[in-house]
Amino acid sequence: MLGDNKLTGYTKTFRFEAHFSLDKEEKMRGGVYALGNFDGVHKGHQAVILAAQKKAEELGLNAYALTFEPHPRHFFQPNQPSFRLTPPDVKIRLLKALGIKEIIVLPFDETLASMPAKTFVEKILIDRFQARHIVAGHDFVFGHGRDGNMAKLSSFLKEKGIGTTEVDDLGDDGESFSSTRVRELLLEGNPEAAAEVLGRPWTLEGPVVKGAGIGGKGLGFPTLNLDLNGYLRPKFGVYTVRAGRAGEPLAYRGVANIGLRPTVDGKSENLEAYLFDFDETVYGETWCFALMRFLRPEKKFDSLADLKKQIEEDIIQAKKA
């Protein structure tokens, strides 16, 4: 089954449903394919999917998304800090929410990494999937050494009578839509601007885990704790959040600390959220936390009393936001 989670690094922490298998491949040939890593599924990615759907409708064909796991950046640099905006399962769900019925997840392994650009076009896109039209962003690169780009892709396919559509990543105001830009904004502590590029607030998702009971409940503020796993680490600090169980509206407002909790822990990186008007035990449930606004950087306090006083102030500020 393609999309197997038995891969190194971040994929150990994210189990995702495989949405493509060899026994379905024949039914997925001869369509319009949107190509990309699609980490974040931001407005630029959404434009690629929309263009693929539009072209498929014009040609009377089906539109598919073709993506890769693990992310090539992780394959080539497995020891670098976590950088993913959307783990595989979340990425697949967001793509399907855009109306793409089938997602092809190709395993990015040594074979694919060493494949020359022209071979990828001939063996994968033409021979294997019998593509009728390809859609990708203007900065899409592929093939060994990232030797392939949209100009070469268009040239290779034109020789076979196959069309391509290149999608610009610029918004109406000239702002670039890119995963790199989203990461930069989150590292700066600017989730509002990141949301403008994504088209929605950036959200972390995972099972609620048991905390140490010191920094949250021990101070009178029961919290929900989430391991950051393979997610990008945004700027450490306190944020206003919207939260809810996975698959449900993010109905709860709250305040969350992302980081090391230097006053009470200082070792483990996690998200610790206090939700207003909520006091349930939900260990093991999958929850989503959307970052809305950065309130302040993380800091170490001289005492738990000082920390409690600051949390009270954070809650006041968050409720005003």
Residues annotated as part of the active site: 272
Q: How many CB atoms lie within 10 A of CB 163?
A: 15
Give per-residue burial for 229-262: e unless 16+ CB within 10 Å, then b: bbbbebbbbbbbbbbbeeeeebebbbbbbbbbbe
How far is CA 320 from each of CA 189, 255, 299, 314, rounded to the nearest angstrom? Answer: 19, 11, 22, 10
* Separation CA 58–CA 151 (nearest Å): 23
Cis link prior to 70 (omega < 30° from 0)? yes
Q: Where are the beta strands (DSSP E) in 108-212?
A: 133-137, 163-167, 203-209
* Separation CA 271–CA 257 (nearest Å): 6
Structure tokens at 94: 């967001």
* Separation CA 45–CA 169 (nearest Å): 8
Residues 123, 91, 33: CA angle, nearest 5 degrees: 35
Q: Helix, strand, coil: what percent of the chain each, to 5?
A: 35, 25, 40
Pairing of strands 103-107, 63-69: parallel
How far is CA 301 from each of CA 66, 102, 111, 266, 306, rounded to the nearest angstrom? Answer: 48, 50, 51, 12, 6
* Separation CA 4–CA 137 (nearest Å): 26
How far is CA 152 from each of CA 72, 112, 131, rounded to the nearest angstrom? Answer: 20, 18, 16
